Amino acid sequence: MNKIAVVTGASGGIGKAIAIGLARNGYTVYANARNEEKLTGMLNASAELDIRPLIFDIRDLDSVREAVESIGKIDCLVNNAGASMAKKDIADVTENDWDTIIDTNAKGYFFITKYSIKSMEAGACIVNISSGAAKTGGDLVSIPYCASKGAINSLTIACARELAKRGIRVNAVSPGFVDTAMLELNGQPKKYYDMVIPLGRLGMPDDIANMVIFLASDKANFITGQIIEVNGGDIMG
């Protein structure tokens, strides 16, 4: 029987790469987006794979719970759905800015985890997508975004500790600069990243997906509670 994976925020970028990568590795993947139209391109491009739409807004907790409960057994949850915004000075950050980012990136991760573990057995895993900005404070991103990713790191460790007794592993992948639409908010040309990243290139969605696929595999069955940086050397140590 195929393993079942749920990938949130799967319509493009890193989430799309993760969904396709897991499906290519034998998973039946439930790919989440706020509406099915957002998934059309990805579903058409991967028609030979077992990828199914799962529609909800990560901030609508009732729809999250209902969607997760409709699946049944879950072997892997990838929390990727995220929000960002252009960098603002502290004085310019609004309550709505804060709530939108935190509700999506931190609150959303917690509650879908809470609902999903009811359908998980020993051997299942959770992979959270964080960001190097949680450690650096992010010169090019907003304070709410950095704070939300720091919360994800702490959530990863706390959940890993609690769920270890149930045989469920929880880890986070922390990308550096990756070539996605979100990168445009940073206001830098792509050649900028080739100069500042030690390995000399911008990250690609598949670079992140490959680590997620590894963490979801049996090869990682003794790894939990880890925040794994995938950033071309942008953050070391």
Tell me the catalytic residues.
145
185: alpha, beta or left, given left = phi > 0 and alpha = psi -120 to 50? alpha
Of the candidates 215, 109, 208, the residue with the CA atom closest to the CA atom of residue 154: 109
Q: Reduced to 3 states, what is the DSSP secondary structure of residue 171?
A: strand
In this structure, are residues 15 and 85 in contact, taking their beta carbons and an 8 Å threshold?
A: no
DSSP single-letter state for residue 90: G
| 28, β-bridge pairs | 4
In this structure, are residues 127 and 81 in contact, taking their beta carbons and an 8 Å threshold?
A: no
Beta strand segments in the chain, E: 4-7, 28-33, 51-55, 76-79, 125-129, 169-175, 227-230
Which tokens belong to 20? 């396709």
Half-sphere exposure of 172 (CA within 13 A, CB side): 26
